[in-house]
Structure 1
Amino acid sequence: MRLDKFLKVSRIIKRRSVAKEIADKDRIQINGKTAKSSTQVKVGDELEIRFGNKTMIAKIEDLRDTTKKDEAKELYSIIEEKYNS
């Protein structure tokens, strides 16, 4: 599954266009490597996403094409959240 689609389906980022924009600005890493929006993700990958002053590290637990809002959190687990000052 493409990175931008996973971020939208998991509701980590609400819109796919925003996910694509963030990835293409080198603000997302998968397993320590900078990722583009078209990068393929798989179960077990670790994502590091930098949003402004917050950095989130999450592990992909499951991949689905669609989810309901309450099921979206099952697709990933948050390992760490840091706030940069």
Structure 2
Amino acid sequence: MRLDKFLKNSRLIKRRTLAKEVADQGRITINGKVVKASSPVKVGDELAIRFGQKIVTVRVEELKDIVRKEEAANMFTILKEEKVEKIEPEFIDDEE
């Protein structure tokens, strides 16, 4: 199953177009590798998704094409949620 479709069906991200945008920005990894929206997802894969200042890591438990709202949470297990410190840009001193 494609990554963007999995994210929509599991309701980790509400819309498939939004899932594609997030993936294209390099904010999603599968098993530690930055991936595109069209990348395949398999049961057992670990996804790390950056939502603003938070990274959510989940394990894929099952793949379904048609999912009811109540069953969506069964498609993954949240392994960890970590807050990302905001990175301040370094100031470059041009005076020499």
| TM-score range for the pair, normalised by the shorter chain length | over 0.9
Q: Which has the larger radius of gyration?
A: 2
Secondary structure, counterpart of 2:22 in structure 1 = helix
Secondary structure, counterpart of 2:18 in structure 1 = helix
Aligned residues: CA RMSD: 0.6
Residue in structure 2 matched with residue 32 of structure 1 by the alignment: 32
Segments of structure 1 that go 5 or more residues without pairing to the other structure are none
Residue in structure 2 matched with residue 10 of structure 1 by the alignment: 10
Q: Which runs of 4+ in 1 moved over 3 A?
A: none
Residue in structure 2 matched with residue 55 of structure 1 by the alignment: 55
Please give the alpha-carbon distance, in whole angstroms, between the structure 2 residues aligned to 1:84 and 1:46: 18
Please give the alpha-carbon distance, in whole angstroms, between the structure 2 residues aligned to 1:84 and 1:31: 19
* 1:28 positional shift: 0.2
* 1:83 positional shift: 1.6
* 1:66 positional shift: 1.2
Segments of structure 2 that go 5 or more residues without pairing to the other structure are 86-96
TM alignment of 1:65-84, pairs within 5 A: 65-84=65-84
Aligned-pair identity in percent equals 55
Residue in structure 2 matched with residue 23 of structure 1 by the alignment: 23
Q: TM-score, normalised by structure 2?
A: 0.87
Which structure has more relative contact order (CA 8 Å, sep 6+)? It is 1
Q: Which amino acid aligns with 2:74?
A: E
